[in-house]
């Protein structure tokens, strides 16, 4: 690649066959925005795929449409075998040990993101955009006459705004929240549910905004003021973190500053939240570009240009909806102890005690309301993850230290790139 070219990586951590159509949609978006024909920009795709998630094969991810491959300087596919081979090389050369390799590149969503970032750095990307396989370059706007849809130049907006920043992230609309529309009653009052959400969620959750989303049937609509804006806003530290999103996220890689890995406690999520706790010395901007989150994969036809005039509400009582909400609650409970420990250690014991008391009071009501005794397990999950918080914190610190070793090693290497399009 020419030295005066800006090398841009686009990263997907995916396990769904539908990824290919999502990638095709973004490719058309890059053609339409002019990025594909810009000789000063090299577009490179990095796909870390999971064959176990939906019982898929490598070809489900590597056989891309010609409209995509024609525009790319390079597509890179990262399966388990390739990542294990690369990790073994890092271990054999003494860069990291086996445990550190597992922390960075083992199983799990955060570690697939790290694999993408590693190969993007190894292949000399200047920037890396993370996109989720269920988010589309569209904004849905609520109007009295129905929904108005507006296409979004996601990558173009990020590249325009990151010139004086280290990280940029955008907005999300659609089915962003896993919380369904509820009809409160004597079994579960609004005050009960407010207490529950504020107990298990992180500091970025605002009950008033959540209540508005619930009243809209669980749908988040785009803000027209944001859509009409050209300027980003700086993300300030709040509660010990700069909260970012894990997709619609651009990370600057052509820097001597620290770049941090993704991490979550075992079996939990929150990798974007924990990355946010590392960003106090970095400039983070929120850019005026939306992606539409198709959280239940109910609108794949959006990728083919069929735009509905209204979006289906998400009601409690649907098995899939309730299961998604329950799993989200488990994820929140599992990662909140470590978040509290990192951001407010002085009050950690008191905050955990308050959480346990609140959950003990409200969980029986949730079990009865949803008709699912599984919600009672959230208290034992909190007990387990709060008891292990020091071990999880040690893992977090070791992950960051191991990543620094890998970065130092990669930065010390000559400019020759390792390129391999084979998939395992």
Write out the DSSP string of 93-155: TTSS-HHHHHHHHSSSHHHHHHHHHHHHHHTT-SEEEE--TTEESEEEEEETTEEEEEE--HH
Task: Please tell me what DSSP assigns to residue 238.
Answer: B
Residue 421 lies in a domain: no
What is the domain range of residue 359?
Answer: 6-412
Q: Specify the pTM.
A: 0.95
Give a yes or no: residue 44 inside a domain. yes
Give residue for tokens 């990558």.
155
Residue 164 lies in a domain: yes
Please answer whether residues 399 and 338 qualify as being in contact, where contact means their C-beta atoms are separated by less than 8 angstroms.
no
Rg of the chain over all Cα atoms, to the nearest angstrom: 22
Proportion of the chain above pLDDT 90, given as a percent = 81
Condensed to tens digits (0 to 9), the pLDDT of residues 350-380 reads: 999 999 999 999 999 999 999 999 999 999 9
Q: How far apart are CA 350 and CA 353, in angstroms?
A: 5
Q: Looking at the domain assignment, is residue 285 inside a domain? A: yes
Split into its structural domains, the chain has a count of 1
Q: What pLDDT score was predicted for residue 210?
A: 80
**pLDDT mean over 219-247:** 94
Residue 422 has pLDDT above 60, yes or no: no
**Assigned domain for 417 exists:** no
Instruction: Look at residue 419 and tell me if it is in a domain.
Output: no
3-state helix/strand/coil string of the chain: CCCCCEEEEEEEEECCCCHHHHHHHHHHHHHHHCCCCCCCEEEEEEEEECCCCCCCCCHHHHCCCHHHHCCCCEEEEECHHHHHHHHHHHHHCCCCCHHHHHHHHCCCHHHHHHHHHHHHHHCCCCEEEECCCCEECEEEEEECCEEEEEECCHHHHHHHHHHHCCEEEEEEEECCCCCCECCCCCCCCHHHHHHHHHHHCCCCCCHHHHHHHHHCCCCECCCHHHHCCCCCEECCCECCECCCCCCCEEEECCCCCCCCCCCCCCCCCCHHHHHHCCCCCCCEEEEEEEEEECCCCCCHHHHHCCCCCCCCCCECCCHHHHHHHHHHHHHHHHHHHHHHHHHCHHHHHHHHHHHHHHHHHHHHHHHHHHCCHHHHHHHHHHHHHHHCHHHHHHHHHHHHHHHHHHHHHHHHCCCCCCCCCCCC
The per-residue pLDDT for range 119-154, each reduced to its tens digit, is 999 999 999 999 999 999 999 999 999 999 999 999
pLDDT tens for 47-92 read 999 999 899 999 999 999 998 999 998 899 999 999 999 999 999 9
Indicate whether 203 pLDDT > 70.
no
The two structure tokens encoding residue 73 = 């300087």
Q: Give residue 206's pLDDT.
A: 66
Whether residue 20 is contained in a domain is answered as yes
Whether 140 and 174 have beta carbons less than 8 Å apart is answered as yes
Quote the pLDDT of residue 414: 72
Asked if residue 1 is part of any domain, the answer here is no
Q: Are strands 284-293 and 233-234 parallel, antiparallel or unpaired?
A: antiparallel
Q: Are 286 and 170 in contact (CB under 8 A)?
A: yes
Residues in the chain: 424
Distance of CA 259 to the CA centre of its chain: 17
pLDDT attached to residue 216: 83
Which H or E run contains 184? none
Asked whether the CA dihedral 200, 382, 110, 56 is positive or negative, the reply is: negative
Q: Which of 203-207, 240-244, 299-303 has the lowest mean pLDDT?
A: 203-207
Q: What pLDDT, in 10s, does the model give residues 373-405?
A: 999 999 999 999 999 999 999 999 999 999 999
**pLDDT at residue 178 is higher than 90:** no
């Amino acid at each position: 690649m020419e030295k005066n070219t800006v090398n841009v990586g686009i990263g997907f951590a995916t396990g769904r066959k539908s990824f290919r159509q999502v990638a095709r949609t973004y490719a058309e978006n890059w053609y339409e925005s002019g990025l594909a024909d810009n000789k000063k920009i090299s577009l490179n795709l990095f796909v870390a795929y999971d064959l176990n998630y939906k019982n898929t094969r490598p070809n489900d991810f590597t056989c891309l449409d010609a409209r995509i491959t024609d525009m790319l300087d390079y597509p890179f596919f990262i399966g388990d075998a390739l990542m294990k081979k690369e990790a073994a090389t890092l271990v054999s050369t003494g860069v990291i040990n086996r445990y550190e390799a597992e922390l960075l590149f083992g199983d799990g969503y955060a570690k697939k993101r790290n694999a993408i970032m590693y190969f993007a750095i190894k292949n000399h990307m200047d920037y890396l955009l993370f996109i989720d396989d269920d988010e589309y370059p569209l904004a849905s706007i609520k109007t009295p006459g129905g929904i108005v849809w507006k296409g979004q130049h996601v990558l173009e907006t990020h590249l325009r705004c990151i010139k004086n920043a280290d990280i940029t992230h955008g907005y999300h609309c659609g089915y962003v929240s896993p919380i369904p529309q509820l009809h409160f009653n004597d079994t579960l009052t609004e005050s009960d549910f407010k207490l529950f959400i504020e107990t298990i969620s992180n500091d970025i959750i605002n009950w008033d905004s959540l209540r508005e989303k619930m009243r809209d049937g669980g749908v988040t609509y785009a803000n027209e003021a944001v859509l009409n804006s050209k300027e980003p806003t700086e993300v300030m530290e709040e509660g010990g973190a700069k909260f970012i999103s894990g997709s619609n996220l651009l990370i600057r890689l052509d820097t001597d500053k620290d770049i941090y890995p993704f991490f979550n406690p075992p079996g939990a999520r929150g990798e974007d939240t924990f990355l946010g706790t590392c960003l106090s010395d970095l400039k983070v901007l929120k850019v005026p570009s939306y992606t539409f989150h198709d959280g239940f994969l109910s609108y794949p036809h959006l990728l083919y240009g069929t735009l509905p005039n209204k979006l289906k509400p998400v009601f409690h009582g649907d098995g899939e909806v309730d299961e998604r909400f329950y799993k989200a609650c488990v994820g929140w409970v599992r990662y909140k102890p470590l978040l509290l420990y990192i951001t407010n250690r002085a009050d950690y014991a008191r905050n955990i005690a308050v959480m346990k008391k609140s959950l003990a009071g409200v969980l029986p009501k949730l079990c009865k309301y949803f008709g699912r005794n599984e919600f009672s397990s959230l208290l034992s999950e909190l007990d387990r993850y709060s008891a292990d918080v020091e071990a999880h914190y040690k893992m977090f610190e070791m992950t960051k230290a191991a990543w620094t070793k890998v970065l130092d090693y990669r930065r010390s290497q000559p400019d020759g790139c390792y390129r391999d399009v084979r998939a395992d």
